[in-house]
Amino acid sequence: MSARWLASLVVVLVAGCHAKGSTACDGNGACALDCGAGIDAPANEGQQHVDEPTVVSYAANPPASGPHWPAWQEPWGAYPNGLPRERWMHNLEHGGVVLLYHCPSGCDDDVAELTTLRDATAVDRFNEQRVLIVPDASMPHRVAAVAWGWRWQGEVVDLPAIRCFIDARYDRAPESIP
């Protein structure tokens, strides 16, 4: 276990929505805006199902809503070989969070930190950790966290901001079931 990994775990365990902690994040989960810079809520692109393998052109990059394939990715976890956006979009519709990375020259440390965030996410009432980790070569930033209707984007893994974002947006979607 490296010192960096251990330090990342400590940060994850103590981070949160600061003054508006995850327990105070009710209603529509807009407290995600309290998690720091890099958070936005792009225009809703709908949630209709389209036949696989239809390719969808999303207005937002990365998208946080929109048409998607009717089958979703199970099990939740890391997919280092990637997943089509049309697949993981269905995971968002079911209350999950997708942690994305774009590192043309490699970023093992970033992926390790994202994995630490995922691993520190408590299982929910369905005994699931609804978090995916996926590379995305099409996004404009190095790292992103996406939930239904919301996203955080940055050039480094900001553990407190991403943890806060997960706490604020997890299980807040049109079909919040696993």
Q: How many residues does the chain have?
A: 178
Q: Read off the pLDDT of residues 163-177 as tens digits, 9 standing for 90 and up.
A: 999 999 999 999 988
* Helical H segments across the chain, by residue range: 3-14, 85-93, 108-119, 159-169
Residue 160: strand, helix, or coil: helix
Q: Report whether pLDDT(178) > 80.
A: no
Residue 116: strand, helix, or coil: helix
Assign 3-state DSSP to the chain and report helix, strand, coil percentages, each to 5.
30, 15, 55
Radius of gyration of the chain (CA): 15
Q: Read off the pLDDT of residues 21-63 as tens digits, 9 standing for 90 and up.
A: 333 455 566 788 899 999 999 999 999 999 999 999 999 999 9
